[in-house]
Structure 1
Amino acid sequence: MDEDEYFRAAEEELGEGEASPYYVTEIPRPDASQMTQTDHMISEVCDFLQTYAVLILSVLGSCAAVFLFYRNKLKIPLEELEQASANIAHDNLDFHITYEDEDEMGHLCHEFERMRQQLSENNARLWRNIEEEKALRAAIAHDIRSPLSVLKGYQEMLIEYLPDETIDTKQAVEMLEESMKQIGRMDDFVESMRKMSSLETRQLQPGEITGAEMEEDLRAEIRILEKDAERTVSLKVSGKDENFCGDKEVILEVTENLLSNALRCSRDKVDVIVYVKEDELRIRVSDDGDGFQESTEKITGLYYRQNAKDSLKHTGMGMYISRLYCEKHGGRLLLENTEDRGAAVTAVFRRIA
């Protein structure tokens, strides 16, 4: 058969879709015995591909699409979510999820980041509440110590002087009256602390205070504290006839804290000066000790102690409570070193309605 003639005849058409009537073009496959082994294998492969090529290409295309989708869309966010879960399991919330694509995984990562932020805020709030409760308990222990010290001093004086009749009945009654005042102060303090969840939530109880009343209350406490500390305390009050509106208990607590610190740090003497005006009350407590060696922020911080031995003597709450109460009273706490290298602390209170 002439090849050119064969194909020309096969391609002749009488009409669209009709083959030439002169030839029937059939190309039979040679028998396997007529082919080499290589040709036979190629023929079988061609038959297989002709039958299954669509299925194979579909499977390969699907696998490639899944692989590319995972690599480009799932791998990065899944790795970030896995690392985030591990961090949360180890109580580490100091991280951020950075995947921000606008797709389903991006939305999931955004919600996971929002959950992390909420957990971090809840954790911080929990620790803050724990610290506030700890500070509140320390403040109660610290502030109740001063009235107890005064009570203890009066009881010791009564035990010492009554058997020898060194003091008369009038003096004994005065000591008992002062003791009752201290008991009343403790009752009020405990009741107010019972209603508080933190020091910052303490409500001020305004009342009229005169300079003469401040002098009387301070002298009664100074008499006991200086005896216990074996120091000399001088008190000067300016403006005895002036009326100041403020929370007397808070002012006395601050004064006791400053006085206790000064007695502990002084060598021989402590000076207390009170300035009473209608719109402001200042209490300055100075000593002849070594003065302040550190910054105001550190000294007035929570649980500050000057040295390790201080932990056996006090809780490190006095200056912190004093600063906090002064600020709640609209004033501030001023720290400075005097010319003779001692320390001076001034508590400023503003008038409240």
Structure 2
Amino acid sequence: MTLPLISAVQQVGVGVSNVSEAWQWYRRVMGFDVPIFNDQAEAKLMIDYTGGKVQSRHAVMALNMAGGGGLEIWQFTSRTPQACAFQPEPGDLGIYAIRFKAPDVTKAYHWMQQQPNARVEPLGKFPDGQGFWGIDPYGNAFQITEDSSWFGRTDNPIGGVAGVVMGVSDMDQSLSFYQTLMDPCEIVYDKTDVFEDIPASVPNQRFRRVVLRKKVSAHGAFSQLLGNLHVELLQALDREPRKLFADRYWGDCGFIHVCFDTLDMAALKKRLSGNGYPFTVDSGGSFGMESAAGRFAYVEDPDGTLIELVETHKLPILKKIGWYLDLQKRKHQHPLPNWMLRMMSLNRVRD
């Protein structure tokens, strides 16, 4: 049996023009109200993706304690963030949408319909279950779907991040990359068709549509919190897709990366580089972000979409009393006790 080197989505980076305003919306509407860090610093290691110049930023990473990955809400403070010059379409190259999960999709749909600054498509059927598409106030697309992996209950009808929807130019090349990264995983479906649920501006477009799923397992300190992982790949067959971050910087508006919770960075680096996917950024050792720390790295998928990898070393459990967990002292990758992870909810920010 192949031991996993990643467990799930740890977070998705969302570039915005006002981090405080955006986080307020995401915590009130989407339930991301437990901060892991709230940090202002220079992004020195990302210079190759920020125009050859070190840029300053303000970033907040927050969790939804129902379970799932978090959001890293990210704003340049040294320059004006640039929006995409065109309206993103499904199949455009990069991260097109976040996949959020909900314990009751119908309830989540009615909740999102009540939000005056969000747009939602009709509730319907995806090839792997019930769900719906929407657009947040910042122009970012999302899916909300059903899921079987949950950590707890919250007052919000929406859970955390279950995965992403990514546009690719060559499905077979992309499948090879993501299967190497996510191994072991399964193909939920692989279909080529005109899909009624995909909100494309021009009707009757054909897509090749593949969903990879990595089911929650007993590997990884945070696996029970993060849950199942879904990566949906879309290849537009009837048009030439555009690159979502063409002529822009990492950190500009939109989905800047998807971050995977990494269990053994050295082994993953060897696996990926051996298959022709070298790290383009590697902190090497532990890198601190406010009260959290870990080794982080970046790799590009075949279309140049940035994939972040984080091996967590230090995590705040209860900031008020200075309780921080040093994961480097653990001798195994078994899940942390649920009671310990639930203590993080005491850091919740309420509106």
Bin of the TM-score, shorter chain as denominator length: under 0.3
More strand by share: 2
Q: Return the index of the structure with the highest Cα Rg.
A: 1
Superposition TM-score, scaled by structure 2 size? 0.23
More helix by proportion, 1 or 2?
A: 1
With normalisation by structure 1, the TM-score equals 0.23
